């Protein structure tokens, strides 16, 4: 089986390395810098869960042959350009699995490549790339991928994707519908990513601060209201319980990107949900406040 990874950043590289180690033919599509690094050094992983190892997938800037499954792991700002670069990897039997955070992606991917798209999320994972592009995976938790498709992707194909993910050592679950997949993660991620970017503090210090915890709770409440309006049973108490179980020192990629001035996922994680909530007639004042302050920070 040929498996493509579009976007060998921290998460994409970890997934590519695990799949390659499991015996799949893995193709990484990325920037010239990322491709050159993988060609020269492979993908080096340092993980509490999976150990330290090196994998050597094929790396290329643009696609030249079709793959059976394509996992999209780029960040939202790079999505449109990235999709154009891998058109030759998409055949009539290719299934596309989007692992992007937030909302607004599946519509674009389907406009470009049609309906054979699976919506997925990857959770329980904290990974980063060091300066020498070593994947650092310090979390003691096994990452968990959830998938679903509301289009013409068959249950057999979903099961095959689940099998592929599990064979690489990750947890995998097929959910009932795409909105369930998206909002199960976004209810937690939107609150945690927003508050870590807003305060520039790790999760533990946010939880320990009375004011910041109240804002965290308010965002969870607001996101859960949007999720319920989208037909997803989302309980704020359960989401807060998940957040309270996160490691004290946890930071987020949104926080790191905002702090270093890199393009971030703020629109898909926070901006788009705010617009959706407003269109549904819901009040989301805490999300709006944090969004305006984070955007102000990025302009100064």
261: domain CATH number? 1.10.1040.10
Pair 213, 156 in one domain:
no
Tokens in use for 112?
């470009």
User: CA angle 7-13-19, nearest 5°?
Assistant: 110
Pair 225, 274 in one domain:
yes
pLDDT 10s per residue in the chain (300 long)?
999 999 999 999 999 999 999 999 999 999 999 999 999 999 999 999 999 999 999 999 987 789 999 999 999 999 999 998 888 889 999 999 999 999 999 999 999 998 899 999 999 898 999 988 999 999 888 999 999 999 989 999 999 999 999 999 999 999 999 999 999 999 999 999 999 999 999 999 999 999 999 999 999 999 999 999 999 999 999 999 999 999 899 999 999 999 999 999 999 999 999 999 999 999 999 999 999 999 988 764
Q: Which of 158, 175, 192 is the last residue of a domain?
A: 175
Let me know: does 192 contact 199? Beta carbons within 8 Å. Answer: no
Residue by residue, DSSP assigns 151-181 as SS--HHHHHHHHHHHHHTT-EEEE-S-HHHH
Let me know: does 102 contact 186? Beta carbons within 8 Å. Answer: yes
Pair 32, 133 in one domain:
yes
DSSP secondary-structure letter at 77? G
pLDDT score recorded for residue 299: 66
Contacts of 101 (CB under 8 A, 6+ apart): 75, 76, 121, 185, 186, 189, 193, 265, 268, 269
Q: Which residue has the tokens 């690489």?
A: 168
Q: Which residue has the tokens 């959706």?
A: 276
Number of structural domains the chain divides into: 2
Look up the domain containing 133 and give its range.
Answer: 2-175
Pair 25, 163 in one domain:
yes
What are the strands of the beta sheet with 95-98, ordered from one edge? 58-60, 25-29, 2-6, 69-72, 95-98, 117-123, 144-148, 171-174
Pair 39, 150 in one domain:
yes
Pair 166, 127 in one domain:
yes
pLDDT score recorded for residue 300: 46
Pair 164, 186 in one domain:
no
Distances (CA, A) of 188 to 24, 151, 155, 192, 209: 32, 26, 28, 6, 18
Q: Would you state the torsion angle of the CA atoms of residues 215, 219, 224, 230, taken in this order, to the nearest 10 degrees?
A: 160
Pair 19, 80 in one domain:
yes
Tell me phi and psi for residue 229, to 5 degrees: -65, -25
Q: Which of 114, 146, 175 is the last residue of a domain?
A: 175
Cβ contacts of 205-211, under 8 Å, gap ≥ 24: 205/248, 207/243, 207/244
d(CA 242, CA 237): 9
């Amino acid at each position: 089986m040929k498996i493509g990874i579009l976007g060998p950043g921290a998460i994409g590289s970890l997934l590519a390395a695990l799949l390659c180690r499991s015996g799949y033919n893995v193709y990484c599509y990325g920037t010239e810098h990322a491709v050159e690094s993988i060609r020269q050094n492979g993908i080096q992983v340092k993980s509490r869960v999976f150990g330290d190892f090196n994998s050597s997938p094929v790396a290329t800037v643009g696609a030249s042959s079709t793959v059976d499954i394509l996992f999209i792991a780029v960040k939202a700002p790079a999505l449109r350009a990235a999709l154009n670069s891998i058109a030759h990897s998409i055949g009539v039997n290719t299934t596309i699995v989007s692992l992007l955070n937030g909302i607004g992606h599946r519509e674009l991917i389907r406009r470009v490549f049609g309906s054979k798209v699976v919506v997925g999320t990857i959770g329980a994972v904290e990974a980063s790339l060091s300066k020498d592009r070593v994947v650092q995976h310090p979390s003691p938790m096994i990452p968990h991928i959830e998938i679903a498709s509301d289009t013409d992707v068959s249950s057999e194909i979903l099961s095959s994707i689940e099998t592929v993910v599990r064979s690489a050592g990750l947890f995998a679950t097929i959910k009932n519908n795409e909105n369930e997949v998206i909002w199960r993660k976004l209810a937690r991620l939107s609150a945690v990513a927003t508050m870590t970017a807003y305060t520039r503090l790790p999760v533990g210090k946010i939880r320990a601060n009375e004011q910041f915890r109240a804002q965290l709770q308010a965002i969870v409440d607001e996101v859960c209201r949007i999720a319920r309006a989208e037909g997803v049973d989302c309980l704020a108490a359960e989401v807060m319980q998940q957040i309270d179980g996160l490691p004290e020192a946890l930071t987020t990629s949104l926080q790191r990107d905002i702090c270093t001035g890199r393009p971030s996922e703020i629109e898909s994680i926070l901006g788009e949900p705010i617009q959706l909530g407003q269109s549904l007639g819901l009040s989301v004042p805490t999300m709006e406040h944090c969004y305006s302050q984070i955007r102000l920070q990025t302009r100064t």
